[in-house]
Amino acid sequence: MIALLHEILIQPFAEFAFMRRALLGALLLALSACPVGVFLMLRGMSLAGDAMAHAILPGAAAGFLLYGLEILPMTVGGLIAGALVALGAGAVSRLTIQKEDASMAAFYLMSLALGVCLISLRGSSVDLSNVLFGAVLALNDEALRLIAGVCAVTLTALAIFWRALAADSLDPLFLRSVSKIGAPAHFLFLGLAVLNMVGGFQALGTLLSVGLMMLPAAAARFWASRLFPMAVLAVGIGMVSSWAGLLLSYHLELPSGPAIVLSAGAIYLVSLIAAPRGLIATHLRARGHRSA
Protein backbone atom coordinates (compact mmCIF):
# COMPACT_ATOMS: atom_id res chain seq x y z
CA MET A 1 0.00 0.00 0.00
CA ILE A 2 2.67 2.42 1.08
CA ALA A 3 4.76 1.36 -1.85
CA LEU A 4 1.84 2.12 -4.16
CA LEU A 5 1.33 5.55 -2.65
CA HIS A 6 4.99 6.23 -2.96
CA GLU A 7 4.89 5.21 -6.57
CA ILE A 8 1.94 7.49 -7.32
CA LEU A 9 2.85 10.52 -5.23
CA ILE A 10 6.64 10.64 -4.97
CA GLN A 11 8.14 8.45 -7.65
CA PRO A 12 7.62 10.80 -10.61
CA PHE A 13 9.60 13.53 -8.88
CA ALA A 14 12.30 11.17 -7.64
CA GLU A 15 12.79 9.72 -11.05
CA PHE A 16 12.69 12.66 -13.42
CA ALA A 17 14.66 15.87 -13.16
CA PHE A 18 12.19 17.77 -15.36
CA MET A 19 9.43 16.92 -12.87
CA ARG A 20 11.52 18.21 -9.97
CA ARG A 21 12.25 21.43 -11.81
CA ALA A 22 8.59 21.83 -12.67
CA LEU A 23 7.65 21.28 -9.04
CA LEU A 24 10.23 23.75 -7.77
CA GLY A 25 9.11 26.39 -10.26
CA ALA A 26 5.44 25.93 -9.44
CA LEU A 27 6.04 25.98 -5.67
CA LEU A 28 8.05 29.21 -5.90
CA LEU A 29 5.35 30.69 -8.06
CA ALA A 30 2.66 29.75 -5.53
CA LEU A 31 4.71 31.26 -2.70
CA SER A 32 4.96 34.52 -4.60
CA ALA A 33 1.73 34.85 -6.57
CA CYS A 34 -0.84 33.62 -4.06
CA PRO A 35 -0.44 36.47 -1.53
CA VAL A 36 -0.63 38.92 -4.41
CA GLY A 37 -3.83 37.19 -5.47
CA VAL A 38 -5.25 37.62 -1.96
CA PHE A 39 -4.73 41.38 -2.12
CA LEU A 40 -6.10 41.56 -5.66
CA MET A 41 -9.22 39.78 -4.51
CA LEU A 42 -9.68 41.91 -1.40
CA ARG A 43 -9.29 45.09 -3.42
CA GLY A 44 -12.08 43.96 -5.71
CA MET A 45 -9.60 43.45 -8.54
CA SER A 46 -9.93 39.72 -9.12
CA LEU A 47 -10.64 40.24 -12.77
CA ALA A 48 -7.96 42.89 -13.05
CA GLY A 49 -5.45 40.06 -12.72
CA ASP A 50 -6.98 38.45 -15.75
CA ALA A 51 -6.92 41.77 -17.56
CA MET A 52 -3.27 42.28 -16.69
CA ALA A 53 -2.41 38.84 -17.99
CA HIS A 54 -3.86 39.82 -21.33
CA ALA A 55 -2.10 43.14 -21.16
CA ILE A 56 1.29 41.43 -20.98
CA LEU A 57 0.72 39.78 -24.32
CA PRO A 58 1.86 42.48 -26.78
CA GLY A 59 5.10 42.97 -24.87
CA ALA A 60 5.84 39.27 -24.82
CA ALA A 61 4.83 39.08 -28.45
CA ALA A 62 7.15 41.89 -29.40
CA GLY A 63 10.02 40.13 -27.65
CA PHE A 64 9.06 36.92 -29.38
CA LEU A 65 8.89 38.61 -32.79
CA LEU A 66 12.31 40.13 -32.42
CA TYR A 67 14.19 37.33 -30.69
CA GLY A 68 12.09 34.16 -31.06
CA LEU A 69 11.06 32.00 -28.12
CA GLU A 70 13.66 33.41 -25.71
CA ILE A 71 12.84 34.03 -22.10
CA LEU A 72 14.62 37.29 -21.43
CA PRO A 73 13.26 39.48 -24.25
CA MET A 74 9.78 38.10 -23.78
CA THR A 75 9.94 38.75 -20.05
CA VAL A 76 11.21 42.28 -20.42
CA GLY A 77 8.64 42.99 -23.11
CA GLY A 78 5.87 41.59 -20.95
CA LEU A 79 7.01 43.64 -17.96
CA ILE A 80 7.01 46.85 -19.97
CA ALA A 81 3.59 46.24 -21.49
CA GLY A 82 2.12 45.15 -18.18
CA ALA A 83 3.56 48.12 -16.33
CA LEU A 84 2.24 50.53 -18.95
CA VAL A 85 -1.26 49.11 -18.73
CA ALA A 86 -1.27 48.86 -14.94
CA LEU A 87 0.10 52.37 -14.48
CA GLY A 88 -2.25 53.77 -17.10
CA ALA A 89 -5.30 52.14 -15.60
CA GLY A 90 -4.22 53.00 -12.05
CA ALA A 91 -3.60 56.62 -12.96
CA VAL A 92 -6.95 56.95 -14.72
CA SER A 93 -8.78 55.58 -11.71
CA ARG A 94 -6.90 57.75 -9.21
CA LEU A 95 -7.16 60.94 -11.27
CA THR A 96 -10.64 60.69 -12.80
CA ILE A 97 -14.03 59.42 -11.69
CA GLN A 98 -13.66 56.26 -13.76
CA LYS A 99 -13.22 53.20 -11.58
CA GLU A 100 -10.27 50.90 -11.92
CA ASP A 101 -12.18 47.99 -13.44
CA ALA A 102 -13.38 50.12 -16.34
CA SER A 103 -10.05 51.78 -17.05
CA MET A 104 -8.29 48.43 -16.72
CA ALA A 105 -10.71 46.88 -19.22
CA ALA A 106 -10.11 49.71 -21.68
CA PHE A 107 -6.34 49.41 -21.49
CA TYR A 108 -6.09 45.64 -21.54
CA LEU A 109 -8.45 45.28 -24.49
CA MET A 110 -6.31 47.63 -26.56
CA SER A 111 -3.24 45.76 -25.40
CA LEU A 112 -4.65 42.30 -26.12
CA ALA A 113 -5.74 43.25 -29.63
CA LEU A 114 -2.30 44.63 -30.31
CA GLY A 115 -0.67 41.48 -28.97
CA VAL A 116 -2.75 39.14 -31.13
CA CYS A 117 -1.92 41.25 -34.20
CA LEU A 118 1.78 41.13 -33.36
CA ILE A 119 1.83 37.37 -32.91
CA SER A 120 -0.10 36.79 -36.12
CA LEU A 121 2.66 38.64 -37.96
CA ARG A 122 4.96 35.79 -37.13
CA GLY A 123 2.61 33.00 -37.99
CA SER A 124 2.08 29.62 -36.43
CA SER A 125 -0.48 28.93 -33.72
CA VAL A 126 1.90 26.58 -31.91
CA ASP A 127 3.94 29.60 -30.92
CA LEU A 128 0.85 31.41 -29.75
CA SER A 129 -0.24 28.52 -27.57
CA ASN A 130 3.21 28.44 -26.01
CA VAL A 131 2.89 32.09 -25.03
CA LEU A 132 -0.66 31.68 -23.81
CA PHE A 133 -0.34 28.37 -22.01
CA GLY A 134 3.31 28.04 -21.10
CA ALA A 135 5.34 24.89 -20.61
CA VAL A 136 6.01 24.08 -16.98
CA LEU A 137 7.65 20.78 -17.90
CA ALA A 138 10.30 22.58 -19.89
CA LEU A 139 11.60 25.05 -17.33
CA ASN A 140 15.28 25.75 -17.90
CA ASP A 141 17.71 27.25 -15.40
CA GLU A 142 17.06 30.71 -16.72
CA ALA A 143 13.33 30.41 -16.18
CA LEU A 144 13.79 28.99 -12.67
CA ARG A 145 16.13 31.83 -11.76
CA LEU A 146 13.59 34.33 -13.05
CA ILE A 147 10.83 32.80 -10.96
CA ALA A 148 13.07 32.72 -7.88
CA GLY A 149 13.95 36.37 -8.42
CA VAL A 150 10.31 37.36 -8.81
CA CYS A 151 9.53 35.45 -5.64
CA ALA A 152 12.25 37.18 -3.64
CA VAL A 153 11.26 40.66 -4.82
CA THR A 154 7.57 40.01 -4.17
CA LEU A 155 8.02 38.65 -0.67
CA THR A 156 10.35 41.49 0.30
CA ALA A 157 8.02 44.16 -1.05
CA LEU A 158 5.00 42.58 0.62
CA ALA A 159 6.83 42.37 3.95
CA ILE A 160 7.66 46.07 3.80
CA PHE A 161 4.34 47.39 2.54
CA TRP A 162 2.01 44.86 4.14
CA ARG A 163 0.50 47.29 6.63
CA ALA A 164 -0.08 49.96 4.01
CA LEU A 165 -1.67 47.54 1.56
CA ALA A 166 -3.90 46.11 4.27
CA ALA A 167 -4.97 49.58 5.46
CA ASP A 168 -5.54 50.79 1.91
CA SER A 169 -7.77 47.80 1.23
CA LEU A 170 -9.69 47.96 4.50
CA ASP A 171 -10.23 51.71 4.86
CA PRO A 172 -8.59 53.76 2.10
CA LEU A 173 -10.05 57.05 3.30
CA PHE A 174 -8.51 56.57 6.73
CA LEU A 175 -5.11 55.84 5.27
CA ARG A 176 -5.33 59.00 3.16
CA SER A 177 -6.07 61.01 6.30
CA VAL A 178 -2.97 59.80 8.15
CA SER A 179 -0.42 59.10 5.43
CA LYS A 180 0.45 59.72 1.83
CA ILE A 181 1.64 56.19 1.28
CA GLY A 182 -1.64 54.84 -0.10
CA ALA A 183 -1.10 55.81 -3.74
CA PRO A 184 2.56 54.72 -3.99
CA ALA A 185 1.70 51.43 -2.28
CA HIS A 186 -1.10 50.88 -4.75
CA PHE A 187 1.15 51.40 -7.75
CA LEU A 188 3.85 49.24 -6.24
CA PHE A 189 1.25 46.56 -5.73
CA LEU A 190 0.11 46.76 -9.35
CA GLY A 191 3.76 46.38 -10.29
CA LEU A 192 4.01 43.24 -8.16
CA ALA A 193 0.95 41.81 -9.85
CA VAL A 194 2.49 42.38 -13.27
CA LEU A 195 5.80 40.94 -12.12
CA ASN A 196 4.16 37.75 -10.91
CA MET A 197 2.13 37.43 -14.04
CA VAL A 198 5.29 37.73 -16.11
CA GLY A 199 7.11 35.31 -13.85
CA GLY A 200 4.30 32.83 -14.29
CA PHE A 201 3.90 33.01 -17.98
CA GLN A 202 6.95 30.93 -18.80
CA ALA A 203 5.67 28.14 -16.62
CA LEU A 204 1.95 28.40 -16.93
CA GLY A 205 1.38 30.89 -19.71
CA THR A 206 -0.19 34.31 -19.37
CA LEU A 207 -3.72 32.99 -18.98
CA LEU A 208 -3.12 30.18 -16.53
CA SER A 209 -0.77 32.11 -14.26
CA VAL A 210 -3.82 34.13 -13.25
CA GLY A 211 -5.42 30.85 -12.20
CA LEU A 212 -2.63 30.03 -9.77
CA MET A 213 -2.84 33.60 -8.47
CA MET A 214 -6.59 33.92 -7.98
CA LEU A 215 -8.05 30.47 -7.31
CA PRO A 216 -6.10 29.73 -4.09
CA ALA A 217 -6.94 33.23 -2.84
CA ALA A 218 -10.62 32.76 -3.60
CA ALA A 219 -10.57 29.36 -1.90
CA ALA A 220 -8.76 30.67 1.19
CA ARG A 221 -11.44 33.35 1.57
CA PHE A 222 -13.91 30.67 2.63
CA TRP A 223 -11.69 29.48 5.48
CA ALA A 224 -9.89 32.42 7.04
CA SER A 225 -11.21 35.43 8.92
CA ARG A 226 -8.01 37.46 9.08
CA LEU A 227 -5.69 38.68 6.40
CA PHE A 228 -2.40 37.01 7.30
CA PRO A 229 -3.79 33.50 7.87
CA MET A 230 -5.68 33.90 4.62
CA ALA A 231 -2.48 34.68 2.71
CA VAL A 232 -0.62 31.76 4.30
CA LEU A 233 -3.48 29.42 3.51
CA ALA A 234 -3.61 30.64 -0.08
CA VAL A 235 0.08 29.84 -0.46
CA GLY A 236 -0.55 26.37 0.96
CA ILE A 237 -3.44 25.76 -1.40
CA GLY A 238 -1.35 26.98 -4.32
CA MET A 239 1.47 24.61 -3.40
CA VAL A 240 -0.80 21.61 -3.00
CA SER A 241 -2.43 22.44 -6.32
CA SER A 242 0.96 22.61 -8.01
CA TRP A 243 2.00 19.23 -6.68
CA ALA A 244 -1.35 17.57 -7.40
CA GLY A 245 -1.57 19.14 -10.84
CA LEU A 246 1.86 17.91 -11.86
CA LEU A 247 1.01 14.39 -10.72
CA LEU A 248 -2.27 14.48 -12.62
CA SER A 249 -0.45 15.68 -15.65
CA TYR A 250 2.15 12.91 -15.29
CA HIS A 251 -0.21 10.01 -14.70
CA LEU A 252 -3.06 11.00 -16.97
CA GLU A 253 -0.94 12.71 -19.61
CA LEU A 254 -2.78 16.01 -19.23
CA PRO A 255 -1.18 19.32 -20.15
CA SER A 256 0.59 20.39 -16.95
CA GLY A 257 -0.45 24.06 -16.66
CA PRO A 258 -4.17 23.43 -16.95
CA ALA A 259 -3.85 20.43 -14.61
CA ILE A 260 -2.38 22.69 -11.91
CA VAL A 261 -5.10 25.27 -12.36
CA LEU A 262 -7.82 22.61 -12.39
CA SER A 263 -6.44 21.22 -9.12
CA ALA A 264 -6.70 24.70 -7.60
CA GLY A 265 -10.21 24.91 -9.05
CA ALA A 266 -11.16 21.64 -7.36
CA ILE A 267 -9.91 22.94 -4.00
CA TYR A 268 -11.89 26.12 -4.61
CA LEU A 269 -15.11 24.15 -5.22
CA VAL A 270 -14.60 22.01 -2.13
CA SER A 271 -13.95 25.15 -0.05
CA LEU A 272 -16.99 26.85 -1.52
CA ILE A 273 -19.17 24.01 -0.34
CA ALA A 274 -17.59 22.76 2.86
CA ALA A 275 -15.56 25.58 4.44
CA PRO A 276 -16.72 27.47 7.56
CA ARG A 277 -17.76 30.41 5.39
CA GLY A 278 -18.96 28.26 2.51
CA LEU A 279 -22.40 27.40 1.24
CA ILE A 280 -23.32 24.71 3.74
CA ALA A 281 -22.23 26.61 6.83
CA THR A 282 -23.92 29.86 5.83
CA HIS A 283 -27.13 28.50 4.36
CA LEU A 284 -27.87 25.45 6.40
CA ARG A 285 -29.98 26.62 9.28
CA ALA A 286 -28.21 26.21 12.59
CA ARG A 287 -29.85 23.55 14.71
CA GLY A 288 -30.09 25.83 17.67
CA HIS A 289 -29.08 29.26 18.77
CA ARG A 290 -27.65 30.65 21.92
CA SER A 291 -29.67 32.74 24.31
CA ALA A 292 -27.37 35.75 23.81
Partner 1 sequence: MTQNAQTPLSFDDLTLGYKSHPAVHHLSGALRAGSLTAVVGANGSGKSTLLKGIVGLLKPISGRTRIAPGLKIAYLPQQSGIDVSFPAQLRDLVGLGLWPKRGLLGRRRPEDEAAVSGALRAVGLAGFERRSLDTLSGGQLQRALFARVILQEADLILLDEPFNAVDARTIADLMSLILRWKDEGRTVLAVVHDLDLVRERFPEALLLARRLVAWGPARETLKPENLLKARRFHEAWDDAAPWCAPEPEEASPGAHVHGHGHSHDHAHDHRGAA
Q: Does the protein bind partner 1 through residue 291 (CB under 8 A)?
A: no
Q: Whole-number minimum distance, CB 112 to partner 1, in Å? A: 30
* Closer residue to partner 1, CB minimum distance, 5 or 279: 279
Q: Whole-number minimum distance, CB 24 to partner 1, in Å? A: 30
Q: Does the protein bind partner 1 through residue 181 (CB under 8 A)?
A: yes
- C-beta separation of 241 from 267 below 8 A: yes
Best CA proximity match to 278, nearest among 230, 235, 220, 231: 220
Residues 82-141 that bind partner 1 (CB under 8 A): none
- C-beta separation of 67 from 73 below 8 A: yes
* Closer residue to partner 1, CB minimum distance, 117 or 160: 160
Torsion of CA 278, 49, 153, 265, to 10 degrees: 40
Q: Does the protein bind partner 1 through residue 18 (CB under 8 A)?
A: no
Sign of CA dihedral 167, 172, 178, 179: positive
Query: Using CB under 8 A as the criterion, what x/- string covers residues 202-241 for binding partner 1?
Result: -------------------x--xxxx--x-----------
Say how many residues make up the chain. 292
- C-beta separation of 224 from 149 below 8 A: no
Give CA–CA dist 51/38, Å, rounded.
Answer: 16
Query: Using CB under 8 A as the criterion, what x/- string covers residues 138-177 for binding partner 1?
Result: ----------------------xx-xx-xx-xxxxxxxxx
- Contacts with partner 1, residue ranges (CB under 8 A): 42, 160-161, 163-164, 166-167, 169-179, 181, 221, 224-227, 230
